[in-house]
Homo-oligomer: A and B are copies of this chain.
């Protein structure tokens, strides 16, 4: 199903149009990220809380006036520019995602520096172990596919050496070896005092990406045209 977004048909977006959309969609999601943090940390009384809630509900009603019928999905245009704005770890439009900006060095190492605050808490003052898993899974999956071939997680093993302090963290990953459709990736998280979590993952090329006759970005069945 094709949709109109900011006056453009999503299937026909040029890279310049994708970037024009991102110029106002990214600040919207950044505002929601700030709101998520402020919501957790608010000490307003009931009356003040209800005033804030009314503003939020007004914003939601405005946005609900024109919506995609389902999740955002993954898109690639004719220029090879891809965008996955809804991704739970890296999506530009997803306020749950930090989002992760990934850097690729010449040796094939992928890294990301993140500032994770109150919304990512598990043990008091520390990163939730499951959020550590989320950011590692995501970065290691990208490492496996190296931006070219899609890869989904087969197995992921995480060793938590100690609690990760909230604040600035560094996530990194690199390919250990390839075996057929499997890519073995190593990853780790460090806070300002050093490595806190180590991970190993086996990533698998999905069946639809092994057969060149299948489009690289399939529409999920519930979003297909009837």
Instruction: Give me the interface of A with B, judged by CB distance under 8 Å.
Output: 3-7, 24-25, 27-29, 31-32, 34-36, 38-46, 48-53, 55-60, 62-68, 70-74, 85-89, 91, 93-96, 117-126, 128-131, 133-138, 141, 150, 152-160, 163, 166, 206, 217-223
Instruction: Judge whether A41 and B60 touch: CB under 8 Å.
Output: no
In angstroms, how far is the closest chain B Cβ from the Cβ of A193?
A: 13
What is the CB-to-nearest-CB distance from A1 to chain B, in angstroms, rounded to a whole number? 12
Across-interface contacts of A128 in B (CB, < 8 A) = 87-89, 134, 137-138
- Give the chain B neighbours of A5 by CB distance below 8 A: 43
Interchain nearest-CB distance for A2 vs B (Å): 11
Q: Other than A95-B95, A153-B160, give 8 A-B pairs with Cβ distance below 8 A.
A: A6-B43, A27-B53, A29-B40, A41-B63, A43-B67, A55-B56, A70-B118, A91-B121
Complex copy number for this chain: 2
Q: Are A71 and B28 in contact (CB under 8 A)?
A: no
Please list 29 pairs of residues, one from A and one from B, whose beta carbons are closer than 8 Å in the complex, sorted by A's number. A28-B42, A28-B49, A31-B53, A31-B60, A35-B59, A35-B60, A35-B95, A36-B94, A39-B94, A42-B66, A42-B68, A44-B65, A51-B62, A72-B118, A73-B125, A86-B121, A87-B128, A88-B122, A96-B119, A96-B120, A124-B218, A124-B219, A125-B222, A129-B141, A130-B135, A130-B137, A133-B134, A155-B159, A156-B160
| Contact (Cβ within 8 A) B7 A124 | no
Question: When chains A and B are docked, how far (Å) is the Cα of A166 from the Cα of B72?
Answer: 12
* Residues of B close to A160: CB separation below 8 A: 152-156
Contacts of A86 in B (CB 8 A): 40-41, 118-119, 121
CB distance from A171 to the nearest CB of B (A): 11
